[in-house]
Amino acid sequence: MNSNVGPIQRTRLTDQIVGRMLSLISNGKYKVGDKLPSERVLMKQLDVGRSSLREATGALLLTGILTSRPGRGTFISASPDVLTARSLTWRVQMGRERIEELVETRIILEQAIAGLAAARCGEIEIAETKRELDLFELALKSNTRTAQVQADLSFHFALAKASHNATLIRFLSELSNLMRLWMKQTIRAGSIYSTSALLEDHREIVHAIEEHDSERAQKAMRKHLEMSARNLSSMVLHKQLLSFSV
């Protein structure tokens, strides 16, 4: 199935990764129901970096071509025909629904994480979340989007670790590719949700956890996710994702 997978040129790399993966599905090398190879294997086969591969995979998850099954991996759930066989209106609506589902899922999952982190964290976890908060602030000052997104993701995983719930950590890990896309969009659309507001939200979450106030931590997390979700313009984002050509 993977014998014809080769390296690709590095112009508009994420677009090319998406295009190559869609092409592999269209020509039958990957079939609906197949499990994707591991991230490490795909990186080697396509000769690309982890960040670009994760962004491309996140785009395909959002369009419904791929689906993530907790504890099992990433699977091909639909043919690329679904992107062309229906009208643009239908596709935009599909994008809105999937983004709304992602927002709902993160709110439910990360509210629980914040509440448990506040209730269960010890001095080590508090110190770790503070460290990640400081690193996030430094990343925002660097004005380097890749570093900002990684620091944001690391902060949220530090909170998950502080919850002392391995299942919640695993579920959050399954969402990591889509979270990267969300965070990238949030930082890019800074005029709507400024980086200073983003940092202040993180500080409020850490303060609540430090004081072991579960209710306050959950409210702070919900406010943070609802505010950042306003940057996820489904029309713009989905149009951008569907612009990838096979």
| Last residue of one domain, picked from the residues 85, 105, 135 | 85
Higher confidence at residue 11 or residue 59? 59
Which pLDDT does position 34 carry in this prediction? 92
For residue range 125-149, list pLDDT tens digits in order. Answer: 999 999 999 999 999 888 788 899 8
Burial of 132 (0-12, 13-18, 19+ CB in 10 A): buried
**Among candidate residues 3, 12, 9, 2, the one with its CA nearest the CA of residue 245:** 12
Report for 31-45, 61-75, 93-107, 111-125: range of highest mean pLDDT: 111-125
228, pLDDT greater than 70: yes
52, pLDDT greater than 70: yes
Tally the domains of the chain. Answer: 2
Model pTM score: 0.63
Compute the distance between CA of residue 56 and CA of residue 135 in angstroms, rounded to an integer: 26
Which pLDDT does position 18 carry in this prediction? 82
Write 15-18 long-range contacts (CB < 8 A, 24+): 15/243, 15/244, 15/245, 17/46, 17/48, 17/52, 17/53, 17/56, 18/56, 18/59, 18/60, 18/244
Mean per-residue pLDDT for 8-21? Answer: 69
Domain membership flag for residue 129: yes
Compute the distance between CA of residue 132 and CA of residue 184 in angstroms, rounded to an integer: 18
Looking at the fold, whether 38 and 96 belong to one and the same domain comes out as no
Domain membership flag for residue 240: no
Looking at the fold, whether 54 and 120 belong to one and the same domain comes out as no
94, pLDDT greater than 70: no
Which pLDDT does position 93 carry in this prediction? 45
Query: Which tokens is 117 given?
Result: 């982190």
| Last residue of one domain, picked from the residues 85, 118, 137 | 85
Domain span holding position 30:
13-85
